[in-house]
Amino acid sequence: MIKGANVGLATLSEDVGSVVMSLGWSSVTEEGSADVSVLLLDGDGKVRGAGDFCFHGNPTAGEGSVRLLGKTPTADGDESRIGFDLDAVPPGVERIVVAASRSGGSRFGDFDDLLLTVADSSGNDLVHFSVEDAGAVSAFIFGELYRRAGEWKFRAVGQGYASGPAGLAADFGVDLDVAARSADDGAVTGLGSRAASPAAAVPPPRAPEPATEAGADAGETRSQEGDAGHPGRTPDSPEDLAVPEGPADAVEAGDALDAGDGQDAGRETADRETVERERAELKEFIKGLSADDIKSGGWFTKLSAQALSSYTGKADQKYFRERYEGVPVDAVVDQRIKMAARYAALEGGLSAGAYTATVAATLGSLGGASAATVPAAVATMMVDVAFVTRLQLRLAHDIAVLHRVPLDLSDPDDMWKLIRVAFTIKGGEAVREGVVKAVPALVRPMIKRFYSGGALTAARGLPVVGKYLLQRNVIKIGIPLVGVPLAVVLNRWTTLLAGRHAQAVFRNEARVIELAEGLSRRSRHPQLMLWVAWLVIRADRKITDDETLLMRHLVRLVREQHHVVDEQLAHLVDVDPAEVWGRVDAEPGDLSDLLDVAERVAAVDGDANALEGAVISELRDRCARV
């Protein structure tokens, strides 16, 4: 990119919910460096409080959505990296400015090879911005991320400040003295005359509840009822996502999370207590496992049965329809995903101490344990594995239910589908590849090195799902991340990833089901509709997943609504266009509904291609002759 240019991140990659920005420079004298800072700005171009100024003394900002990831020496310079969870940036933040400063009379013009890069969550480089002449300045803005029409864009700024860090800070409303004192005190307070941010220091993860009848904009809510007999529990508490009891009562509307610091602290305490209860229950579950269960992967079979058996009977469409009547599905799903991610992060912090090199060494042989016992170190780690596994499995189930996607968990195909969606497992994907894709780009190189060794040789014999989930958690061992336990980051990251993946899959399936329902409802020729739909689908000799899904639901709906079962079509190997055209020509009356079917079927997986268009054109001609 050139100075002043901008680009929408979504046009460069699908994986831009989180990105990593790198700032690099070199020096022929190999002297001096620079300190990176990030400023989160509101619509007026000012920070909302000192908590929006991210620097070495405050390395995390924006409720954890922006993190300084440290500095790495290069051959003749340094590279500093910043992680951005763009999906989690607070709504009041409109721009994120990335800058750096030098001290002791040093200037950016003394550097060579000033370079900014942006990589997506898969580690693919999206943006390269090379600064040719930074000038004799001690403060420099490299670039900025900003919102535009609901999307994030990047602008290559390349602007120096002759007035130095003080001038840069003043332009954006930062009081450097206040920020420095706040960093020393371990808390962040207000800036100058601007109001202090309520979230002075980065709080422990908190669980937002979905919007209630008050509307999606009513804010995050939490029931104030007591816990006796589980009153006040909702499908958004961990009781529903991570324990067998299932949902109970609805959320109390109007108890917004922005009610005040005191109530926030109370909620955080309650959330922590809830997660502790979850962990205590799972400790009992782990006690019932044998060493063979863990080595064989059988733990997952037992956990999935325990996680879904009683839960799915309660968390059904009737429950969600009654509790969230009138609330858009996307609003409920979005809040549930965020809730689950924050609970996962909270549990990760509580269990982070379980991830040590000792546990890694123990995993290979389970400490020489007998088949009937599980070493205490491994049992502690398995609580974390089980918590996140159950949380994500139930989250995927609830998203399917909310989107009215039918799942029969007694059907092995549907059960496997839920598992694959919940844990983002793709057919034919190597476990190591899946693990690497499931974590932030910043730790992928370390994870690849971890797996290149023999630390988990024994674990490779586990069944695919158990192995995948166990390995995904074991990478938390011994990889530091700027003082923040990696367990917190990975628990939150993988749960967000699982939730967004489930949302994408089941929302798309809901779209296809909705299309099939409309076609079946409007059809005056249900049996012929199936033949026309199949002819369009097979026009290019390929069948996409969406086309398969649409045909499956069309056949089901025609059977249920029109009581038509076409055995000939069911046993068909190759569709003969001449036979379909013969059926069309033999049908009297208005056939415009068939033309509508053909056009909609062709577009189910994108724009119609030339071969599909040819079938539609032929059908249009034949319909016109009737």
Does any domain span residue 279? no
The whole-number pLDDT of residue 40 equals 96
Does any domain span residue 398? yes
Looking at 471, 506, 541, which one is the last position of a domain?
A: 506
Shared domain for 37 and 161, answered yes or no, is yes
Q: At residue 57, what is the residue type?
A: G
Which of 74-78, 206-210, 317-321 has the highest mean predicted lDDT (pLDDT)? Answer: 317-321
Does any domain span residue 197? no
Alpha-carbon distances, residue 305 vs 568, 598, 610 (angstroms): 39, 42, 47
Does any domain span residue 230? no
Confidence band of 220 (pLDDT split at 50, 70, 90): very low
Shared domain for 590 and 495, answered yes or no, is no
pLDDT tens per residue, range 417-464: 888 888 776 543 333 344 444 444 444 444 444 444 433 333 343 345
pLDDT tens per residue, range 336-360: 888 888 788 877 777 665 555 445 5
Shared domain for 531 and 498, answered yes or no, is no
Kindly report the CATH number assigned to the domain that includes residue 57.
2.60.60.30
pLDDT tens per residue, range 238-265: 344 433 333 322 222 222 223 334 445 5
Asked whether the predicted pLDDT for residue 575 surpasses 80, the reply is yes
Shared domain for 379 and 477, answered yes or no, is yes
Does any domain span residue 276? no
The whole-number pLDDT of residue 580 equals 92
**Mean pLDDT of the residues in the chain:** 73
Confidence band of 109 (pLDDT split at 50, 70, 90): confident
Shared domain for 401 and 465, answered yes or no, is yes
* Structure token pair of residue 340: 């689950």
Query: Lowest-confidence range among 297-311, 426-440, 555-569?
Result: 426-440
Query: Would you say 65 and 85 are in contact if contact means Cβ atoms under 8 Å apart?
Result: yes
The whole-number pLDDT of residue 347 equals 78
Looking at 154, 185, 216, which one is the last position of a domain?
A: 185
Shared domain for 473 and 573, answered yes or no, is no
The whole-number pLDDT of residue 299 equals 80
Does any domain span residue 254? no
From 3, 94, 101, 14, select the one nearest 56 (Cα to Cα). Answer: 101
pLDDT tens per residue, range 504-549: 889 999 999 999 999 999 999 999 999 999 999 999 888 888 898 8
The whole-number pLDDT of residue 445 equals 46
Shared domain for 573 and 459, answered yes or no, is no
Asked whether the predicted pLDDT for residue 308 surpasses 90, the reply is no
Shared domain for 447 and 554, answered yes or no, is no
Does any domain span residue 270? no
Kindly report the CATH number assigned to the domain that includes residue 534.
1.10.3680
Which of 25-34, 115-124, 423-432, 534-543 has the highest mean predicted lDDT (pLDDT)? Answer: 534-543
Shared domain for 527 and 502, answered yes or no, is no
Does any domain span residue 168? yes
pLDDT tens per residue, range 602-612: 999 888 899 99
Looking at 448, 473, 506, which one is the last position of a domain?
A: 506
> What percentage of the chain has pLDDT greater than the value 70?
68
Asked whether the predicted pLDDT for residue 113 surpasses 90, the reply is no
Shared domain for 485 and 450, answered yes or no, is yes
The whole-number pLDDT of residue 431 equals 36
Question: Which of the two residues, 251 and 472, has the higher pLDDT score?
Answer: 472
The whole-number pLDDT of residue 521 equals 93
The whole-number pLDDT of residue 376 equals 62
**Number of domains the chain contains:** 3
Query: Would you say 402 and 392 are in contact if contact means Cβ atoms under 8 Å apart?
Result: no
Question: Which of the two residues, 163 and 296, has the higher pLDDT score?
Answer: 163
Shared domain for 64 and 107, answered yes or no, is yes
Q: What is the 3-state secondary structure (H, E, C) of 492-539?
A: HHHHHHHHHHHHHHHHHHHHHHHHHHHHHHHCCCHHHHHHHHHHHHHH
Residue 303: which domain range? 289-506
Identify each DSSP E strand in 132-254 by its residue range: 139-148, 151-161
Shared domain for 319 and 454, answered yes or no, is yes
Length of the chain, please? 626
